[in-house]
Amino acid sequence: MWREYADACRSEPPEADRFPGMSVETEVVREATDEVVEAFARLLPQLPSTAQPLDRAAVEGLTGASTNTLLVARIDGVIVATLTLVVSPLPSGLRARIEDVVVDSAARGHGVGKVLIDKALELAADAGARTVDLTSRPSRGAANRLYERAGFQRRESTVHRVTLP
């Protein structure tokens, strides 16, 4: 059913009730399988800031990092979204961040992102995190509305970044 849905969405705008029985399942990814590497190759280019796709070694690095929990969402067994939850002990307490949320363009607007965010928040709470942060560009209107519906509040902050050689 998912493949039919994805094909239909590529040719016409998605309709929320096109496949009302479609359910989203989340899963923690613990190893870099061919399926996971292919999913990243397909999904990451849909993020505006991604320079290059991840190879198997990079995906293994993600799944092997003790601070990371890599989540995927599936529809009909097909990976349609991913998110990385980073949980780190800091002097001020255990903190969590959500990074690199990407939902396949054919699955957007149908609650996939919300299911994935909710699962990440549940895992962060279970780990004992005091807060969960994420950043999103102001131009990503739909994503920002999703985060606000999930309970995130905008904060006044200045983000500083240095690009290393």
The domain ranges of the chain are 2-10+20-149
- Is beta strand 24-29 parallel, antiparallel or unpaired with respect to 131-133? unpaired
Q: What is the CATH number of domain 2-10+20-149?
A: 3.40.630.30
Phi, psi of 86 (to 5 degrees): -115, 120
Condensed to tens digits (0 to 9), the pLDDT of residues 15-67 reads 444 445 678 999 999 999 999 999 999 999 888 776 577 899 999 999 999 99
pTM above 0.85, yes or no: no
Q: Tokens representing 104?
A: 């396949």
| 8 A C-beta contact, residue 40 and residue 113 | no
Condensed to tens digits (0 to 9), the pLDDT of residues 78-131 reads 999 999 999 999 999 999 999 999 999 999 988 999 999 999 999 999 999 999
Running DSSP on this structure, what letter comes out for residue 91? T
10-19, 44-53, 141-150: which has the minimum mean pLDDT? 10-19
Please tell me whether residue 84 adopts helix, strand or coil conformation.
Answer: strand
Query: Cα–Cα distance between 72 and 49 in angstroms, integer?
Result: 19
